[in-house]
Structure 1
Amino acid sequence: MDADNQSITPMTEDECWEFLAMQPIGRLATAVGGEPEIFPLNFAVADRNLYFHTIPGTKVAEVAINGKVAFEVDQWGPEIAYSVVVKGTAEILETDADIASAEATNLVSYLEETRDTWVRITPSHVTGRRLRR
C-alpha cells in the first residue's frame, strides 16, 4: 500500500455510530423528479436510527415522495478528518409511539420556530472513513 492509500482508513460500523452520536449537524440528500437536494440540519441518534424534526416544506414533501435518502456528516481538523455516510429510508413519523421515541432523543432545534414534523432515517448502509494528513 502506498503512502496516499495509508492516509485513508475505513471506519467500522460501530465507529461510524459513535461518531454520528457526537455530531450536531449533518446534510440530508434527497432526489425527487431527478433533481438532487441537500439540506443541512441538526439531528439525533437513537437505536442506530437518525431523527430530525422540521416544519412542513420541501424536505417533508421530498421524503413523502421518495423516502430513499443519504445523510452525510463530516468533521475536519488540522491533522485528521472524518466522513460518515448513511443511506436508508426516511419516513415521516405519525404514530404516538414513534413520535415519543423521537422526542426521547431530546433533540433541540437551532431555530426558534416550532418544528412539529418528526422524520426517522432507518439505515440500509453505513460507511465511514478517517483521513490523516
Structure 2
Amino acid sequence: MSTQSQPSQSVLTEEESWELLAGQKIGRLATSVAGEPEIFPVSFEVSGERIFLRTKPGTKLAEVTISPRVAFEADEIGDDAAWSVVVKGRAQVLEREEDLAEARGTGLVSYLEDGKTVWIRITPSDVSGRRLVPGDQR
C-alpha cells in the first residue's frame, strides 16, 4: 500500500497570476507566422497588467510586427510547489513618446544587453495560471 499522495493542482486567480509574473524577470514569448510557431526567451517587466520587453531588429521583431497575436509564459519550479502563468494578447511595437516613457519607467534590465532598443508591450486578452503542489513524498 502506497502512502504517497497525489499532487494537487489549483487554478490561480488573475490577481495571483499577475503577482507571480511581477516577481519574475525571464519568460517566453510565443509567436506564430505562416503557421510556424516560435518561442523566444525574453527579459520582461510587468506594469499595469501589461508586459513590457525590449528587442532589436530580427526574427522576434519581424514576427510580432507581422502577426501581433502572441502568448507569453513565465513559471517557476521549487521544492514546495510549481506554477505557470500564460498570457495571451496583442504585442505592439512602441513608438509614441508617452508609450516609450511608460516602458522605460518599468525599470526593465535585459538579461543580455546586446543593443535591444525596440520596446514591445503585450496587452492581454486572457490570463490563466496554475499551481501544482507535489504529493507527500513519505
Establish whether TM, by shorter chain, passes 0.5.
yes
- Normalised TM-score (structure 2): 0.91
Counterpart of 2:23, as a letter, is M
How far apart are residue 115 of structure 1 and its match? 1.2
How far apart are residue 112 of structure 1 and its match? 2.7
Alignment of 1:28-107 (within 5 A): 28-107=29-108
Aligned to 2:130: 129
Taking the aligned partners of 2:45 and 2:54, their CA distance within structure 1 comes to 10
How far apart are residue 106 of structure 1 and its match? 0.7
Aligned to 2:112: 111
Question: Of the two, which has the highest radius of gyration?
Answer: 2
* Identity %, equivalent residues: 55
How far apart are residue 52 of structure 1 and its match? 0.1
Taking the aligned partners of 1:27 and 1:57, their CA distance within structure 2 comes to 16
Question: How many residues are matched?
Answer: 130
Structure 2: where are the runs of 5+ without partners?
none
Moved over 2 A (4+): none
Taking the aligned partners of 1:22 and 1:67, their CA distance within structure 2 comes to 25
How far apart are residue 29 of structure 1 and its match? 0.3
Structure 1: where are the runs of 5+ without partners?
none
How far apart are residue 111 of structure 1 and its match? 1.4
Query: Helix, strand or coil: the match of 1:108?
Result: coil
